Structures are given as C-alpha cells and as structure tokens.
C-alpha cells in the first residue's frame, strides 16, 4: 500500500492540472509515480523538466534507459525497473540488452562504460576519482555527455527514492529487481 497516494487527477486545478495533463498526454494516463509527485506541483514541475531536458539530450533514449534500469536494479526500485524496461524496449533496445543492463552489463563497450560509471557514482555516493571520468572519455564520451550521464543518474535517484520511499504501486508490467553482486 502506497505511503502517499497519487493526487486525484479529477481534483487537480491550475498549474497542477496542467502538469498532470502533460503527463497524461505523454503516457496516456497519469501513472502512479507522477500522480504521487503531483502532491507537490513544484516537485512534479522539476521532474517533468528533467525528463524533458534529458530526453532532448545527446545521449539518446536507448542509453538513458539502460542507465535507468541499472540504477533502478541497484536501488531495488521495482517501479523504475518496470517502467524503464518498457521504455527501453520502445526505444529499440532488445530484451536481452535491457536484461544485461539491469545486471550492470552490456556487449557495447561505450554503454558498459556508462553503466559502470553510473553504478560507481551510486555506490560511492559520487565519491569518484579522475580515473572514473577518464574511463568515460576513453570510451568516447565528451564532457557534455559525461555531465549528461550524471544528470541521468541524479534524475533516476530522485525517481527511485520517490517510488521506493513512498511504496508507489507499479502500473507497468512488473520487472523484479535482482540485486547486483557486490
């Protein structure tokens, strides 16, 4: 049972209603995570702004979704793991590649470098070293893309914490976390 219920769409007015309408347009409904965050229009505006900005970024949807499932799995966030697995498939990532990303793996060296970095940032709470950033550069990422990877990590931490902390009901086909071996 969710600790904080989604804000009722039919009760929303003003800015909250406009934000919830934007979610409804994008997803066909106000899914539970966004409905829960709609309890605070400021938080919802922040979340939607981050999703919109990163969706238009240079990394592309496929890599963004692979980072998202790796971070969600690490954080035992079934909601985000379920949602981003579906979104990754819609972005053209194979079922096998999404499962590999969930487990912190990729056959593509560039994707693997991004996933490794993301998991290290989360595990070490951003206490990374020069070598960690240089590994991304060696994989072909420039500084703009490296900062964008960090933004994806931060956004996913926000959504993971909302969903895990508030026990948001999953409204996507469920994908259960499989905690990475340390």
Write out pLDDT tens, residues 119-130: 999 999 999 999
Q: Where are the beta strands (DSSP E) in the chain?
A: none
pTM: 0.95
Fold classified for 61-165? AhpD-like (1.20.1290)
Residue 33 has what pLDDT? Answer: 98
Give the span between the Cα atoms of 153 and 140, in whole angstroms: 19
Residue 181 has what pLDDT? Answer: 39
What average pLDDT score do residues 136-142 get? 98
Write out pLDDT tens, residues 41-56: 999 999 999 999 999 9
pLDDT at 182 over 70: no
Write out pLDDT tens, residues 93-117: 999 999 999 999 999 999 999 999 9
What average pLDDT score do residues 168-180 get? 88
Q: What residue segments make up the domains of the chain, in order of their start?
A: 9-55, 61-165
Residue 173 Rama label (left phi>0; alpha psi -120 to 50; beta): beta
Residue 127 has what pLDDT? Answer: 98
Contact present, 44 and 19 (Cβ < 8 Å): yes
Write out pLDDT tens, residues 25-41: 988 899 999 999 999 99
């Amino acid at each position: 049972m969710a600790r904080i219920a989604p804000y009722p769409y039919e009760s929303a007015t003003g800015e909250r209603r406009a934000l919830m309408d934007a979610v409804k347009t994008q997803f066909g409904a106000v899914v539970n995570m966004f409905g829960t965050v709609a309890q605070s229009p400021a938080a919802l505006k922040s979340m939607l702004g981050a999703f919109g900005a990163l969706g238009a970024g240079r990394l592309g949807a496929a890599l963004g979704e692979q980072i998202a499932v790796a971070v969600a799995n690490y954080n035992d966030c079934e909601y985000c793991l379920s949602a981003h697995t579906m979104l990754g498939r819609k972005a053209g990532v194979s079922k096998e590649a999404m499962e590999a990303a969930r487990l912190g793996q990729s056959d593509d060296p560039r994707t693997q470098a991004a996933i490794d970095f993301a998991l290290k940032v989360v595990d070490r709470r951003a206490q990374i070293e020069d070598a960690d950033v240089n590994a991304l550069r060696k994989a072909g990422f420039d500084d703009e893309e490296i900062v964008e990877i960090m933004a994806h990590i931060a956004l996913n931490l926000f959504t993971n914490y909302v969903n895990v902390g508030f026990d948001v009901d999953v409204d996507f086909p469920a994908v259960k976390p499989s905690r990475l071996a340390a």
